[in-house]
Chains A and B, each alone.
Chain A
């Protein structure tokens, strides 16, 4: 089989983010898809592939395609929690490379899991067998307890401080204040962070993402489609993922996130110090610290010191979550994982407004998904994106 050139990002769309909404998940998807296709300059009839990131819509993939109005040659549901968008995008890239599709929309979105108006979409965490029987009955039905446990251990074992964690939360807030899409815009000082109410010690209110509603979509196209478009595409570089990385043991290592398994390969051609930004999946500041270690930006246990020693602000050496991240934008269900990719594309196209970095060339986007009873997360994915094609 002949192999066509790599897939490219032709457009992105992000709906407004709403704290309270009565719109079910598929309405958010439909709006995000419209916005992304408009942005790409493509017609709905040109779409031949669809990857929907969802863990809440019970309908089968074929039905979702029908509801959203597409006839397709390739479709999938990506159910990898917060990593769903990145993993869906990677599968879509493979599909385009194998000439199964030319225009694939990767979309995610939805409403708060506890929204009372959602009669159809699941309102409660769709817990699997292991979470339902070996975590939830003790009180782990939501991730606060899990991440509190991990943060407690990280602080104990590695001396990670609240000041280091607070630097992440306050820096992201400063970025969010330059992003009109962000729900949390009030200034937050380190004192504000430290004084934030305890939810699950040592996790504070300011550590937790805020549930909200919204949608985001990315249009991935083949080269032969891209050359016909007016807009310059954004290019995909190295990608890696690890699923269920702690299954084989023998001992679990709850503080290892899974990126270490592919980090060397991910950064082999575009090294870490070439990154003009990183958009890291941030449901909690401690997740960012563990991720920086697992990715190899910091040594094991050194994530907190790395944050302390590195300027992660917009003008810094490694700007992180330039749009404010989920911590300050909000977490619109599974679209939370798509916000990082949309922000990366906006930065590379020079469309990030007041928070625009000076001419960024390449950046990193990550996703993590679904907590593991015996380990850390069950899915970790990382992708390098660039303004120019990767060699």
Chain B
């Protein structure tokens, strides 16, 4: 059952622009045209005002490690040949957080370290994913 499909994003209409930008190695956030709230992950409506008209703004891609987890054993078969890897919660400089993974094996990573987005395609991902690298 390696075909779980969980290693692969399946864009929906409202988050297609996020993945289109990722395909061009650009990290974007969803900004509400009515109230200017910037939200990530992308949602079908603005969590503040409920409107569904968005523009997509370029984010710097730089952020700080809020926390991390060094995965040695994966239950999901699709991930088994990828361990070990370092999962991240990155606080972007613009505010929102992204869950991601560290590029490269770095067991000594610390909370508070600065990281920068790097788009990479991995086996089964079908498209570039926003990973992060130490700076």
Contact = CB atoms under 8 A, between A and B. Distances in A.
* Binding partners A and B: yes
Interface of A: 114, 116, 123-125, 127, 129-130, 132-142, 144-146, 148-150, 152-153, 156, 198-203, 247-252, 254, 373-374
19 contacts: A116-B1, A129-B12, A133-B11, A134-B98, A137-B129, A139-B101, A141-B6, A141-B74, A141-B78, A142-B75, A144-B69, A144-B71, A146-B69, A149-B68, A152-B69, A200-B71, A248-B48, A249-B47, A254-B67
A322 B69 CA distance: 30
B66 A153 contact: yes
B4 A373 contact: no
A248 B50 CA distance: 11
Given A137-B6, A249-B47, 10 more contacts: A132-B9, A133-B12, A139-B74, A144-B69, A144-B73, A153-B66, A153-B111, A202-B69, A254-B89, A373-B41
A374 B90 CA distance: 11
A116 B77 CA distance: 13
B9 A139 contact: no
Contacts of B20: none
Interface string B97-120: 111110000010001000000000
Q: Which of A116, A129, A138, A202 has the most CB of B within 10 A?
A: A138
Interface stretch (B24-32, B53-61, B79-87): B79-87
A376 to B, nearest CB: 12
Contacts of A251: 95
A135 B71 contact: no
A133 B127 CA distance: 12
Interface residues of B, number: 42
Nearest to B129: A137
A141 B41 CA distance: 17
A309 B54 CA distance: 51
A153 B48 CA distance: 28
